[in-house]
Structure 1
Amino acid sequence: MINTLKGHIAEVEKFSADTPEAIEAFRIKYLGKKGLLNVFFAEFKNVPNNQKKEFGQTINELKQRATDKVNELKNALHHQTEEKGKFGDLTRPGNPIELGARHPISIVKNQIIDIFSRIGFNVSEGPEIEDDWHNFTALNLPEYHPARDMQDTFFVQTDPDILLRTHTSSVQVRYMENNKPPIRTISPGRVYRNEAISARSHCFFHQVEGLYIDKDVSFADLKQTLQYFTTELFGKSKIRLRPSYFPFTEPSAEVDVYWGLETETDYRMTKGTGWLEIMGCGMVDPNVLKNCGIDPEEYSGFAFGMGIDRIALLLHQISDIRLLSENDIRFLEQFKGAL
């Protein structure tokens, strides 16, 4: 009986196959429920006691050899099929490559940068983790100003003077500290506010803030710049400036663009007025210029700031601001045609 087992071991070693059917037949012959191995295991009880050890070892060897042979032949056949499928027909068309899409935030940001670059504005960037001076003090926000409250700002617990920037005005401060007038720059970037997340607001969002510093800059220059911007981005040329208050500009204003009342959506977005608020602006406060090492007696300037997220919602008719940060492929694929 042991010699019979050894004969099968030799047969297994010599076996070769190049089709899945032949390999499966070989597997069933030895390893199937009614295969030879189960037959030999059933005969174990009839083997003399002095041969049981050798008989058991030989059966296990046959089982291992048969299993290894099946795996070896399957792997060889798999690689052979794979190579043939890969290189067999070089004239067949290739697999389609999925095209990505720009994020709506990037689309709108690039549009804004392009519009202002045409009238001489460059792009400046700065850190998202800021210090107290650049985010608050240099911008005329005193120590006990409400904007410094923990309910509005994310402070770093290990250092009360370090925080996540609440606006990109901090980039403008850094730019003024390191550059002499004339200055004409915009600062796009992500900012953070300690706000409840809802369909209309988020704890982080994106801004573009602009700054122009030179001799004899007036409020009329500011209005004309914003008039140009709204016409280029929205196709709407009618704007109005309402008096407002910002610590770092004086005088300050909110900018509304006349959106119209042609559709139900227009009524909903403008609350039935036809006017839509898009940004804040104003003449740079002399104290801010002085804090940044610029002589307010010689130079003046204007600044403005807008939220990219809100403009993206408006231009692309997106109903929920949370969609912009959820990375849902179904949502992002809608923007494949945009640049």
Structure 2
Amino acid sequence: MMSDPIPALSDYSAASLVTFFGNLTSAFEADLRAVTTKDELEALRVKWMGRKQGLMNEIGEVLKAAPAEARRDVGMQFNTFKKSVDAGLAAELKTETAAPVVRGIDMTLPGTAHQPGIEHPLLKTMHEIVRVFHHLGFSTETGPQVESDFYNFEALNFPPNHPARDTQDTLVIAAQQGRPSRDRLLMRTHTSPVQIRTMVAQQPPLRIVIPGKVHRNDAADATHSPIFHQVEGLCVDTNITFSDLKGTLDHAMKALFGSSVKTRFFPSFFPFTEPSADVQISCPFCAGKGCRKCKHSGWIELLGCGMVDPAVFASVDERRLAEGKAAAYDPAHITGFAFGMGVERIAMIQHGISDIGHFYSGDMRFLEQFA
């Protein structure tokens, strides 16, 4: 390392300054190459950059004697040299810090277990439902959660004064009063708007299944949530009958709950289907004998369905014509069926869960049961 005193400068010409700072640079680089530990690096820093006794102070004292006409060049070369010393020390410190530390390995310690993530039980159930219908030739369609009144209500044959349009039931987007009624935005209350969007975009035949999240202004309790999930289906073609609907849903329920499950259909009402039906399955907990979960009836109501109302086909063709497309859904030649089920309800039945809130609580003790 450099131990000789800083020599005096009697000549402050450009050539002398280049030689002077060149020798200092060589001396610093030699000192830096000799460093092997952090303690030696710190000692080198104090030697060159120490506030009281560092060589940088001695160099500055030597350069103070420079004549006035040379001080500008002397100052510039001194600052350049000082920056190079700072950079060299910082680079060496970074290298020293980043050097890997080799430690002994205790082979008696247990290994680290890496637990893979799992599907949320709701997503797992939703994917299971979708797979059942994929095997029947249905394809998946999705759509936006923020919908217009036309797609969510009007095209599905909900009259303007229907209770579902009221803000007591529907979450609407603010500041929509200036828009025409059919263009006002809201959070979709079912995945049925995707049925309309698909029919407007495509000609029959159609076989689609529509999984997704929906929103309603419901108070949260053991069986209700303002956010939940649905899987809906639509089949449109020539000569589609109610028997096709019954056969499709009977097969799906057996695929989901076991081959021993029976289905039965009761008349119901939905604005977008006619005729409409509620579907019940024989209780999978008591095999239809009657228990607390089926309220001792032996049956559990699971979903709604029906034949697509001709008024819905008329709304679809109206929108197709407005978009410059040909009408394709004449109810004299085209028929179809639709159905919809709540994913949470099916998951609760499959796993014997009594409170829908468990799905949204984020409680790992609950979720880990499905790993």
- Tell me the equivalent position of 2:114: 97
From 202, 206, 210, the equivalent of 1:179 is 202
Question: What residue number does 1:55 align with?
Answer: none
1:1-339 equivalences under 5 Å are: 83-85=101-103, 88-89=104-105, 95-160=112-177, 161-235=184-258, 236-259=260-283, 262=286, 267-293=291-317, 294-336=329-371
User: 5+ residue gaps in structure 1?
Assistant: 1-15, 19-74
In structure 2, the CA distance between the partners of 1:260 and 1:232, relative to structure 1 (3 Å rule), is closer
User: Are the aligned partners of 2:277 and 2:304 in contact in 1 as well (CA < 8 Å)?
Assistant: yes
Report the counterpart of residue 31 of structure 1 in structure 2: none
Higher relative contact order (CA 8 A, sep 6+): 1
Q: Which amino acid aligns with 2:335?
A: S
Letter in structure 2 aligned against 1:323: H
| 1:261–1:274 CA contact under 8 A, matched in 2 | no
Q: Which residue in 2 is equivalent to 1:68?
A: none
Query: Offset of 1:94 from its aligned partner?
Result: 5.3
Report the CA distance between 1:98 and its aligned residue.
2.1
In structure 2, C-alpha distance between the alignment counterparts of 1:228 and 1:263, rounded to whole Å: 17
Query: What per-residue deviation string (whole Å, max 9, x for no partner) do you get for residues 78-122 of structure 1?
Result: x7998224xx44988752212212111111111111110011000
* SS of aligned partner of 1:83: coil
Cα 1:316–1:237 shift into 2, 3 Å: closer
- TM-score of the aligned structures, taking structure 1 as reference length: 0.72
- Contact kept, 8 Å, 2:287 with 2:298, in 1: the verdict is no
Q: Aligned residues, how many?
A: 262
Instruction: Spell out, residue by residue over 1:285-339, the C-alpha distance to the aligned partner (whole angstroms, 9 max, x if none).
Output: 0010111122111100000000000111111111211111122211111111xxx
Instruction: Find the residue that maps to 2:130 and give its secondary structure.
Output: helix
Structure 1 runs of 4+ off > 2 angstroms? 79-85, 88-95, 260-266
Q: Aligned pair in 2 of structure 1 residues 106, 260: CA closer, same or farther (>3 Å)? A: closer
SS at match of 2:127: helix
Distance 1:315 1:226 in 2: 17
Q: How many Å separate the matches in 1 of 2:352 and 2:288?
A: 13
Alpha-carbon distance between aligned partners in 2 of 1:241 and 1:311, rounded to the nearest angstrom: 17
> Larger Cα Rg: Structure 1 or Structure 2?
2
Structure 2: gaps of 5 or more residues: 1-36, 40-92, 178-183, 318-328
The farther-off stretch of 211-220 and 254-263 is 254-263
1: distance between equivalents of 2:288 and 2:252?
26
Match of 1:134, SS? helix
Q: Call closer, same or farther: CA 1:165–1:17 in 2, change over 3 Å.
A: closer
Residue 188 of structure 1 contacts residue 209 of structure 1 at CA under 8 Å; is this kept in 2?
yes
CA offsets 1:258-301 (integer angstroms, 9 cap, x no match): 11563999612211001000100000000101111221111000
Q: 1:271 to 1:280 in 2, by over 3 A?
A: same
Distance, in Å, in 1 between the alignment partners of 2:263 and 2:119 is 30
Question: 2:168, 2:217 within 8 Å by CA — same for their partners in 1?
Answer: yes
1:188–1:208 contact (8 Å) kept in structure 2: yes
Instruction: After superposition, give the CA deviation of every residue in 1:35-56 in whole Å (9 maximum; x if it has no partner).
Output: xxxxxxxxxxxxxxxxxxxxxx
Residues 241 and 256, structure 1, Cα contact 8 Å, conserved in 2: yes
1:56 alignment partner in structure 2:
none
How many Å separate the matches in 1 of 2:352 and 2:290?
11
For residues 186 and 264 of structure 1, what CA distance do their matches in structure 2 show? 29
Indicate the SS of the match to 2:193.
helix
Q: Counterparts of 1:117 and 1:328 in 2: how far apart (Å)?
A: 32
- Assess if the C-alpha contact under 8 Å between 1:215 and 1:298 holds in 2: yes
Deviations 1:216-267 (A, max 9, x none): 1000000000110011101143111000000000000000001156399961
User: What one-letter code is carried by the residue in structure 2 that aligns with 1:301?
Assistant: G
CA distance in 2, matches of 1:264, 1:148: 38
Alpha-carbon offset, residue 186 of structure 1: 0.6
